[in-house]
Homo-oligomer: A and B are copies of this chain.
Amino acid sequence: MSRVFLDYAAITPIDKKVAQEMEKAQKFWANPSSLHQEGEIAKRVLEEARIKIARILHCKANEIFFTSGGTESLNLAIFGVVFKYKKSNSKIPHIITSTIEHPAVLEPIKHLLKNKEVEVSFISPNEKGLISPESIKKEIKENTVLVVIQHGNNEIGTIQPIRKIKEVIENFKLKIENSSRAYLLVDACQSVLYENISLESLGADLLVLDGIKMYGPRGVGILAVRHSVPIESIVFGGGQEGGLRSGTENVPGAVGLAKALEIATEMREKESARLTKLRDYAIAKILKPARLASESVAGGEISQLSLNGGLENRLPNNINICLSHFAKASRDESNKLDSEFLVIKLDTLGFAVSAASACHTLSLENGSYVIESLGNKNCGSSSLRITLGRSTKKSDLDKFISALKKIVHR
């Protein structure tokens, strides 16, 4: 049975051209920190990769730091900025973030909070999944060191108004004398394939990317940090990556990441348009007319389904639907039509989708905190995330929708 993979927000396969570049780069296997020719060549290959990435992200090459992935990058950004701040300030640092960030943002922040190292304002999104710049304006204050907002959400695909959030921060800084702080950290892991996420266009001070989310290498990520941002290491050793991230550099990994970013940038416009069309086709077919979870209008090919998050400002590859009506209806008989049941049932029918994020499946019993943040508690544990990718065709979605119909109209 041929399977249909619709879980590209969890991970993407490695692009063949990326794999080829990495294989070629294996001949530059020496340690880039070595003084000899082999080391120098490896260093040059590494730095060429860094330059390519910097050009695409509109920053300087030495503002790009290679890490082991998105999680490490986000932890380094958060801990690195907070600990550096604490060295020269007696006041407790303040962080603004949203309730729908990835666990790799929320968990390090909660860890700091538990240890009383920071104070935090958690901003809730509106029912469409959007963080309003106005809400940041209300929370920002003199000791705010970080504003951490995801560019594209990993569960509901909402694209946040990062540029406007940046303006709020800048306006605040203008009012406060000597305030050069309140750095904007943007997690762009999910949106890099579809949006212009250069530091310049977003106004980000720190930016995070992950190879696995962009048809790139596994175990390789980026943290871009503007020179103006005071930051320190969280892992210590040989002092690689300008002293910020110790550990022997992964040359083929860096080469693969640069190639993946190049391909993503080349494909961005066309692929975004193609997937937006496919996404909207599928949403219309499922929901007809497309509705928000918060609205309770009936209709659509599968009645009583609703979309989690707004249709506008949404990643082209993200569909997230709430089936709480069916969950409720079935609760009396089998108590089973929840997210996990749906994922497993669809899996047996040949479709790979997910309930929340892949990370979040580790503690699925709690439902999706992202979807619950939208205000509809019932949807948290009875939603499906369907995410499209480069291989997704219209026929895949047609097959998926018929399978979904069968399950909910059983």
Binding site for B on A (CB under 8 A): 3, 5, 7, 10-14, 19, 23, 26, 29-31, 33-39, 67-72, 74-75, 102-104, 107-108, 110-111, 210, 212, 218-220, 234-240, 246-248, 250-253, 340, 343-344, 346-347, 351-355, 357-364
| Pairs A–B under 8 Å by Cβ, sample size 10 | A5-B38, A7-B31, A10-B39, A35-B364, A36-B353, A68-B247, A103-B238, A212-B248, A237-B359, A248-B358
Contact between chains at B352 and A74 (CB < 8 Å): no
Please report the C-alpha to C-alpha distance between residue A104 and residue B33 in the assembled complex, in whole angstroms. 15
- Residues in chain B near residue A104, CB distance under 8 A: 236-238, 246-247
Task: Pick from B103, B246, B352, B354: contact of A239, CB below 8 A.
Answer: B103
Shortest distance from the beta carbon of A71 to any chain B beta carbon, whole Å: 4
- Residues in chain B near residue A340, CB distance under 8 A: 35
- Residues in chain B near residue A75, CB distance under 8 A: 235-237, 246
Q: Beyond A10-B34, A107-B239, list 13 extra A-B contacts (CB 8 Å).
A: A33-B358, A33-B362, A36-B347, A68-B68, A68-B219, A75-B237, A102-B237, A107-B236, A218-B251, A219-B250, A238-B359, A239-B362, A248-B358
Task: Pick from B11, B247, B344: contact of A69, CB below 8 A.
Answer: B247
Please report the C-alpha to C-alpha distance between residue A218 and residue B222 in the assembled complex, in whole angstroms. 16
Shortest distance from the beta carbon of A84 to any chain B beta carbon, whole Å: 13
Write the chain B residue with the least CB distance to A30: B11
Task: Pick from B237, B354, B363: contact of A36, CB below 8 A.
Answer: B354
Shortest distance from the beta carbon of A22 to any chain B beta carbon, whole Å: 10
Write the chain B residue with the least CB distance to A75: B235
Known pairs A34-B7, A72-B247; A252 contacts B218 (CB<8 A): yes
Please report the C-alpha to C-alpha distance between residue A174 and residue B210 in the assembled complex, in whole angstroms. 48
Please report the C-alpha to C-alpha distance between residue A210 and residue B238 in the assembled complex, in whole angstroms. 14
- Residues in chain B near residue A251, CB distance under 8 A: 218
Task: Pick from B31, B110, B352: contact of A30, CB below 8 A.
Answer: B352
Shortest distance from the beta carbon of A76 to any chain B beta carbon, whole Å: 8
Contact between chains at B236 and A108 (CB < 8 Å): yes
Contact between chains at B237 and A108 (CB < 8 Å): yes
Please report the C-alpha to C-alpha distance between residue A31 and residue B154 in the assembled complex, in whole angstroms. 14
Known pairs A219-B253, A248-B11, A354-B34; A360 contacts B238 (CB<8 A): yes
- Residues in chain B near residue A72, CB distance under 8 A: 68, 235, 247
- Residues in chain B near residue A107, CB distance under 8 A: 236-237, 239, 246
Write the chain B residue with the least CB distance to A210: B248
Please report the C-alpha to C-alpha distance between residue A250 and residue B237 in the assembled complex, in whole angstroms. 22
Please report the C-alpha to C-alpha distance between residue A358 and residue B12 in the assembled complex, in whole angstroms. 34
Shortest distance from the beta carbon of A115 to any chain B beta carbon, whole Å: 10
Please report the C-alpha to C-alpha distance between residue A37 and residue B363 in the assembled complex, in whole angstroms. 18
Please report the C-alpha to C-alpha distance between residue A362 and residue B243 in the assembled complex, in whole angstroms. 10
Task: Pick from B3, B68, B74, B103: contact of A38, CB below 8 A.
Answer: B3
Please report the C-alpha to C-alpha distance between residue A28 and residue B210 in the assembled complex, in whole angstroms. 18
Known pairs A219-B68, A238-B103; A14 contacts B30 (CB<8 A): no
Name the residue in A5, A10, A38, A240 with the highest tally of chain B Cβ atoms < 10 Å from its Cβ. A10
Known pairs A248-B71, A347-B36; A362 contacts B238 (CB<8 A): yes
Contact between chains at B70 and A247 (CB < 8 Å): yes
Shortest distance from the beta carbon of A259 to any chain B beta carbon, whole Å: 15
Shortest distance from the beta carbon of A143 to any chain B beta carbon, whole Å: 21
Shortest distance from the beta carbon of A85 to any chain B beta carbon, whole Å: 15
Write the chain B residue with the least CB distance to A14: B26
- Residues in chain B near residue A250, CB distance under 8 A: 68, 218-219
Contact between chains at B253 and A218 (CB < 8 Å): yes
